[in-house]
């Protein structure tokens, strides 16, 4: 089982922006903890990629080592940073960027082979401090024709941008729900606005910037389409009020939604279809009823072509325990396959039910991803509380899931809390604040988080509740120090391999505005 303290540090400085192709690696734990700085601190290796013992590494991988301080480039050479197979050196180029050195083999590595990487003690930092000893580690490459697993370290931060804020149509971006969908035809994002309306607008993309101040980041133009109430205008007998997922497909926009507080947990309506995504106020169909209801009807996406036959479908949907009434959800991120054509060409009035097949789902109460998945201290219990499960707990939120292109990994990003100070119901937190529901005792005990699942495990599982993540951990995202801004939505441009992530409230530039900020990452 991977270490719960795993942290994927995606650096905003140029030292982690590598010109070489990054690896697609198996991940059995996180990088080692960073060493405290200071003039007298030792110069050490902080992390390697692939990690020691990593399996199923892509044969096109480059080898990366990160040090505790910027290294002296002249000390990092083809003789001091090497890769070998059975004692024979691999021909490779070596480069240095700040505190990171990268070794790029001149040809693909061999399949199913175990390689040894080494950094010699002669490598030093810019102040002349050398490593105390040689540092070596090993990893193995994937078998022929087998897609590798993804490591979160392989995602590269590619900049951020702001969405133009203001009253556009019936809503605005402040306190946005933040659900996203990518439109490949218009090169745009559909965005769900303020939680009071859960309306949808379409914003053009803008080239992300690498500025470190929010106010200096690029801003999009006004929306292509203003905010439109897409829930009540379709007729809404079950009073659904939260958009949980959106997907552009074949010119239509599919929208999953639920009721924030479905006390009986008996809502069946899940999905509305806007026939022409270029006309959000136009004709629509719904409500449809996806199999699984709140356990399935959230994030959506396309299943990569190599996996479609195995899943028996072209697209997927999934969700997790995000809002109130946790017992109606999958207590852990789910994955169901379905056919969008059943929605686009369907008649909700005549036949609202739409089949979806579970491949991963964790129903309450005895099939949860973690047996402590709904655990928290009773109201009135003084904190701190026992640390919450790092696998999945009552405050874990899987906001978006996607198949990482070229890998066998299904990635889920979101947030969690209570890992250090535990969770209490209507707890009095360490600062004296009384929560309205479950919350961590420590006000800063919240984290952006990721879960990585092996697609082969999902397909081989006897039961949909059997899969477990091969890696999970804290995801350190730019503009969200200490998880001050949690992930509220995301979407993938699979062709360009760009992940767009919405951080709640992080786009603030004034005293009262609270729009999301869009941060981007490229996948290898």
Q: Give the integer Cα–Cα distance in Å for 155 and 142.
A: 19
Q: Is 90 exceeded by the pLDDT of residue 342? A: yes
Q: Give the integer Cα–Cα distance in Å for 450 and 438.
A: 21
pLDDT score, position 144: 82
Q: Give the integer Cα–Cα distance in Å for 295 and 201.
A: 26
Q: Up-side HSE of residue 204: CA atoms within 13 Å toward CB?
A: 9
pLDDT score, position 475: 96
Q: Give the integer Cα–Cα distance in Å for 248 and 190.
A: 9
Q: Which residues contact 145 (CB under 8 A, 6 or more apart)?
A: none
Q: Which two tokens stand for residue 131?
A: 């490593």
Question: Which domain CATH number covers 402?
Answer: 2.115.10
Q: Which two tokens stand for residue 7?
A: 């942290």
Asked if residue 402 and residue 390 are part of one domain, the reply reads yes
Beta carbons of 277 and 252 less than 8 angstroms apart: yes
pLDDT score, position 483: 76
Pairing of strands 188-192, 252-258: unpaired
- Give me the mean pLDDT over the 63-75 stretch: 94
Asked if residue 195 and residue 103 are part of one domain, the reply reads no
Q: Which residues contact 62 (CB under 8 A, 6 or more apart)?
A: 18, 20, 21, 22, 23, 102, 103, 104, 105
pTM over 0.75: yes
Beta carbons of 283 and 346 less than 8 angstroms apart: no
How confident is the model over 392-426, as pLDDT tens digits?
999 999 999 999 999 999 999 999 999 999 999 99
Query: What is the band of 440 on the pLDDT scale with cuts at 50, 70, 90?
Result: very high
Asked if residue 426 and residue 355 are part of one domain, the reply reads yes
Domain that holds residue 142: 7-154
Q: Give the integer Cα–Cα distance in Å for 445 and 7.
A: 15
CA 277 to chain centre: 25
pLDDT score, position 40: 62
Q: Up-side HSE of residue 326: CA atoms within 13 Å toward CB?
A: 20
Q: Give the integer Cα–Cα distance in Å for 219 and 162.
A: 5
Asked if residue 119 and residue 27 are part of one domain, the reply reads yes
CA dihedral sign of residues 228, 398, 373, 378:
negative
- Give me the mean pLDDT over the 241-249 stretch: 98
Q: Of 154, 181, 212, at which residue does a domain stop? A: 154
pLDDT score, position 58: 82
Domain-embedded: residue 98? yes
Q: Is 90 exceeded by the pLDDT of residue 317? A: yes
Provide the number of structural domains found in the chain: 2
Asked if residue 246 and residue 363 are part of one domain, the reply reads yes
Q: Give the integer Cα–Cα distance in Å for 369 and 455.
A: 16
Pairing of strands 353-354, 284-290: parallel
Asked if residue 125 and residue 194 are part of one domain, the reply reads no
Question: Which domain CATH number covers 115?
Answer: 2.60.40.1220
pLDDT score, position 234: 64
């Amino acid at each position: 089982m991977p270490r719960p303290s795993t942290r994927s540090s995606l650096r905003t400085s140029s030292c982690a922006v590598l010109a070489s192709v990054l690896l697609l690696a198996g991940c059995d734990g996180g990088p080692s903890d960073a060493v405290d700085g200071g003039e007298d601190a030792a110069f050490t290796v902080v992390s390697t990629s692939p990690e020691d013992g990593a399996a199923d590494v892509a044969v096109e991988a480059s080898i990366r080592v990160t040090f505790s301080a910027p290294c002296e480039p002249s000390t990092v050479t083809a003789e001091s940073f090497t890769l070998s197979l059975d004692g024979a050196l691999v021909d490779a180029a070596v480069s240095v960027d700040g505190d990171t050195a990268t070794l790029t083999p001149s040809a693909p590595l061999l399949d199913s082979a175990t390689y040894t990487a080494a950094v010699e003690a002669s490598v030093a930092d810019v102040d002349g401090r050398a490593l105390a000893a040689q540092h070596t580690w090993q990893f193995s490459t994937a078998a022929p024709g087998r897609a590798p697993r993804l490591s979160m370290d392989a995602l590269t931060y590619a900049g951020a941008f702001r969405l133009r804020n203001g009253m556009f149509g019936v809503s605005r971006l402040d306190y946005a729900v933040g659900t996203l969908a990518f439109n490949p035809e218009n090169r745009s994002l559909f965005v769900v606005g303020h939680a009071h309306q859960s309306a949808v607008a379409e914003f053009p993309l803008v080239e992300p910037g690498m500025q470190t101040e929010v106010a200096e980041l690029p801003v999009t133009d006004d929306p292509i389409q203003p905010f439109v109430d897409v829930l009540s205008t379709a007729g809404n007998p079950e009073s659904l009020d939260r958009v949980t997922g959106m997907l552009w497909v074949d010119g239509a926009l599919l929208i999953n939604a639920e009721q924030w507080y479905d006390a009986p947990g008996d809502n069946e309506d899940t999905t509305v279809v806007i026939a022409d995504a270029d006309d959000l106020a136009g004709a629509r169909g719904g409500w449809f009823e996806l199999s699984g209801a709140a356990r399935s009807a959230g994030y959506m996406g396309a299943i990569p072509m190599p996996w479609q036959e195995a899943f028996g479908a072209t697209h997927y949907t999934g969700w997790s325990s995000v809002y109130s009434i946790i017992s109606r959800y999958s207590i852990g991120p789910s994955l169901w396959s379905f056919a969008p054509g059943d929605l686009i060409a369907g008649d909700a009035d005549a036949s609202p039910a739409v089949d979806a097949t579970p491949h991963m789902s964790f129903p309450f109460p005895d099939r949860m991803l973690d047996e402590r998945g709904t655990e928290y201290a009773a109201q009135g219990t003084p904190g701190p509380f026992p640390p919450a499960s790092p696998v999945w707990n009552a405050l874990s939120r899987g906001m978006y899931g996607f198949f990482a292109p070229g890998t066998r990994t299904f990635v889920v990003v979101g947030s969690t809390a209570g890992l250090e100070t535990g969770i209490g119901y209507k707890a009095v937190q360490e600062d004296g604040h009384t929560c309205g529901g479950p919350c961590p005792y420590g006000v800063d005990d919240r984290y952006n988080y990721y879960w990585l699942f092996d697609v082969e495990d999902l397909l081989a599982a006897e039961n949909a509740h059997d899969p477990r993540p091969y890696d999970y951990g804290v995801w350190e995202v730019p503009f969200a120090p200490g998880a001050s801004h949690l992930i509220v939505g995301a979407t993938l441009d699979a062709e360009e391999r760009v992940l767009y992530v919405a951080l709640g409230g992080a786009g603030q530039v004034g005293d009262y505005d609270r729009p999301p900020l869009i941060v981007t990452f490229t996948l290898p």
